[in-house]
Amino acid sequence: MTLKCYTDLKAAVWDRGTCSGCGACVAVCPADAIRIEGGADAPVNIGYCKAESDQVPCGACFDVCPRVDPARPPGREACIARLSAKAAFEVPGRQSGGAVTAIVEHALSAGLVDAVVTVTEDRWTRRPASVLITESEALLRSAGSRYNWWVPLLSALKTAVVDRKYRRIAVIGVPCVVQAIARMRASENDLLRPYGDAVRLVIGLFCTESFDYERLVEGRLKREHGIEPWQIRRLDVKGRLEVQLEDGNALELPLRELEDCIRPGCATCTDLTAVDADLSAGAIGAASGCTTLLVRTPTGQGFVDAALRAGRLERCGEVDLSAIERLAERKASRA
């Protein structure tokens, strides 16, 4: 194990404004000494560190962070299969075709996984929260994308692995979260291995950027446009932010007007399609009402096949790979 500690992570990531907010360092700190508070741009240490305070080898926070390495090169849209698919049953809040919900719901109900770590939200305040889900009904309620997701998603992984002792976990996350899980799975650090071993399936959501809750929902939408969080029916990003309201009205905001609401850490992110996932899912490349699925690993293929065989997932049309590659290239060159 290394003797790196949070001060190395602070110098390499927190102080440079490149933290993505994935929450992995928060989750794996064995002393629970790293926190992300409110709308902060990076975590803080609360004053204790095993390595620095007691000279006990640790380095967990440094080893798990996806931002300590230089940006990975773009152009890795490779996959072993790709398909356009949708849920074969009603998923009321689905963002695209509901394929992610269908695959994970089947995995839960068939006993292929015990628990799902993902992001849900309070339907009244639209405030996102990291959550551990073990029931199909809760998963169905959680469908849809949280673009204002900035919460330490992986903190729920600590609850799953350390407190609840689950060993067959599915994680749904944006690419920075997926990169952190990949580091857990590949790490030789004894403190990270239990996390890597407990994750059975990683589903990555395509991602161009994410918004800070306070700045977008409380600031821009509520204070500037007079929209209360509970009036929002759905958010979508399609070259601009689309805000659909419960009363049928809608508001469209160009992304260039929302730059101050985007998490600073997103500016250095080059990964659109979560290349380290078992299975990646997005809207682009599929017809409206369907989800693009890029199958990266035999594990990902197994979960897709299981849902198709059970009649919970169905194919719908072809995938336009060139549209995905264009957007991936644009994101990488922006970074």
The contact set with ligand FAD (CB under 6 A) reads 91, 94-101, 118-120, 142-147, 149, 153, 172-174, 205-208, 210, 237, 281-284, 291
- 284, interface contact from ligand FAD, ligand SF4, none, CB < 5-8 Å by kind: ligand FAD
Binding track over 145-174 against ligand SF4, x by CB under 6 A: -----------------------------x
- 120, interface contact from ligand FAD, ligand SF4, none, CB < 5-8 Å by kind: ligand FAD
23 in contact with ligand SF4 (CB under 6 A): yes
209 in contact with ligand SF4 (CB under 6 A): yes
Contacts of 252 (CB under 8 A, 6+ apart): 240, 241, 242, 243
187 in contact with ligand SF4 (CB under 6 A): no
Query: Residue 331 CB, nearest distance to ligand FAD (Å)?
Result: 8
Query: Residue 205 CB, nearest distance to ligand SF4 (Å)?
Result: 9
Indicate the residue type of 257: E
Q: Which one of residues 21, 128, 144, 229 is an interface residue with ligand SF4 (CB under 6 A)?
A: 21
Task: Give phi and psi for 304, each to the nearest 5.
Answer: -65, -45
Query: Residue 185 CB, nearest distance to ligand FAD (Å)?
Result: 18
Nearer to ligand FAD, 103 or 191 (CB): 103
- 24, interface contact from ligand SF4, ligand FAD, none, CB < 5-8 Å by kind: ligand SF4
* CA distances (Å), origin 137, targets 74, 106, 128, 166: 38, 12, 18, 19
Query: Residue 284 CB, nearest distance to ligand FAD (Å)?
Result: 3
Query: Residue 270 CB, nearest distance to ligand SF4 (Å)?
Result: 8
22 in contact with ligand SF4 (CB under 6 A): yes
Binding track over 255-294 against ligand SF4, x by CB under 6 A: --------x-xx--x-------------------------
The residue ranges that bind ligand SF4 (CB under 6 A) are 9, 13-14, 19-25, 43, 64-67, 174-176, 180, 207, 209-210, 263, 265-266, 269
